[in-house]
Amino acid sequence: MLPRASPVSTVGRMERRNRRSDTRTAVAATAPPSAEVARDRLWAQDVRSSIRCAAVLLALLLLIDWGVGTLSAPRATLWAALAVLLFVVLYPTRVSAGEGWLVARGLLRTRLVRTDHLVSVRCLDGVGQRLVLRDTFGARVEVDPRVLVANPPLWRRLDEDARLSALRSTLSCGQTALHRVSERIDRETALTVFKVSGLE
């Protein structure tokens, strides 16, 4: 005869199942609906551009090596590694935002900042301009302003939450940086309207 299952162990398994079910239900309840999340609509296009650039570099290097008669397995591996490195460098950050938060997902890491508890917003000028967001919890996210310009829903979500941070008196500096982005978006919107209407 098979040994009968202990009532205690059966109850324990049922409790664990119930806890897992409750956890899944809680996560589903707190997750924001996809309709409320603004995303970078050009991200997939930028990824394809990164792949094309890496593929073109690899093809050119292999073609040059083959043309001069120096192509070998080790050299082909080296060129492939360089192409992969270029893809990693060019890989675009995927930005999405919802009510009170903004996430920047890179190839190697993901960063999240609470946009309704911002402390500062700064513009970093250089080879590639960056908008640096910091919140009261110490989190920090860098966003390319061009992503906000190309995606008005993302900008509106960030702007609304930044205003809320200002009302809460947590945003000590950043109004100037946000104003610059807002002016840039207004200019781009006006140019788009002119192009569509044929007034440019």
157 and 173 within one domain:
yes
Q: Do 79 and 154 lie in a common domain?
A: no
Residue 113 is part of which domain span? 94-197
- Residue 17 covered by a domain: no
pLDDT one digit per residue (tens) for the chain, 200 residues: 444 544 444 444 545 445 444 434 333 333 344 448 999 999 999 999 999 999 999 999 999 999 999 999 999 999 999 999 999 999 999 999 999 999 999 998 999 999 999 999 988 876 678 899 999 999 999 999 889 988 989 999 999 999 999 898 888 887 888 888 888 887 877 777 667 666 55
What does the pLDDT read at residue 95? 96
Is residue 129 located within the same domain as residue 86?
A: no
Q: What is the 3-state secondary structure (H, E, C) of the chain?
A: CCCCCCHHHHHHHHHHHHHHHHHHHHHHHHCCCHHHCEECCCHHHHHHHHHHHHHHHHHHHHHHHHHHCCCCHHHHHHHHHHHHHHHHHHCCCEEEEECCEEEEECCCCEEEECHHHEEEEEEECCCCCEEEEEECCCCEEEECHHHHHHCHHHHHHHHHHHHHHHHCCCCCECHHHHHHHHHHHHHHHHHHHHHHHCCC
- Predicted local confidence at residue 127, as pLDDT: 65
Q: Are residues 126 and 188 in the same domain?
A: yes
> pLDDT value at position 1?
45
77 and 99 together in one domain: no
Residue 1 lies in a domain: no
Domain count, the chain: 2
